Chains A and B, each alone.
Chain A
Amino acid sequence: GIQVEQSPPDLILQEGANSTLRCNFSDSVNNLQWFHQNPWGQLINLFYIPSGTKQNGRLSATTVATERYSLLYISSSQTTDSGVYFCAALNSGGSNYKLTFGKGTLLTVNP
Chain B
Amino acid sequence: NAGVTQTPKFQVLKTGQSMTLQCAQDMNHEYMSWYRQDPGMGLRLIHYSVGAGITDQGEVPNGYNVSRSTTEDFPLRLLSAAPSQTSVYFCASIPRSGRAEAFFGQGTRLTVV
Q: Tell me, yes or no, whether A45 is within 8 Å of chain B by CB.
A: yes
A42's partner among B96, B102, B106 (CB-CB below 8 A) is B106
Q: Tell me, yes or no, whether B43 is within 8 Å of chain A by CB.
A: yes
A98 and B99 contact, CB distance less than 8 A: no
A30-B99, A97-B50 known; A90 vs B43 contact (CB < 8 Å): no
Bitwise, A86-101 to B at CB < 8 A (1) or not (0) is 1010101001011111
Within 8 A of A (CB), among B59-110: 88, 90, 92, 94, 96-104, 106-107, 109
By the criterion of a CB under 8 Å from any partner CB, how many residues of chain B are at the interface? 28
A97 and B107 contact, CB distance less than 8 A: no
Bitwise, A52-67 to B at CB < 8 A (1) or not (0) is 0000000000000000
B101 and A45 contact, CB distance less than 8 A: yes
A43 and B107 contact, CB distance less than 8 A: yes
Say how far B71's CB is from chain A's closest CB, in angstroms.
14
A41-B88, A86-B43, A98-B58 known; A31 vs B33 contact (CB < 8 Å): no
**Complex-state Cα separation, A102 to B90, whole angstroms:** 15
Q: Tell me, yes or no, whether B42 is within 8 Å of chain A by CB.
A: yes
**Complex-state Cα separation, A98 to B98, whole angstroms:** 9
- Of the A-B pairs whose beta carbons lie under 8 Å apart in the complex, a sample of 14, sorted by A's number, is A30-B97, A31-B99, A33-B101, A33-B102, A41-B106, A41-B109, A86-B43, A90-B98, A97-B94, A97-B98, A98-B48, A99-B45, A101-B35, A103-B40
Chain A contacts to B: CB under 8 angstroms? 30-31, 33, 35, 41-43, 45, 48, 50, 86, 88, 90, 92, 95, 97-104
Name 12 extra pairs, CB < 8 A, besides A48-B100, A97-B94, A103-B41: A31-B98, A41-B88, A43-B90, A45-B101, A45-B102, A48-B101, A86-B43, A97-B50, A98-B33, A98-B45, A99-B94, A102-B42
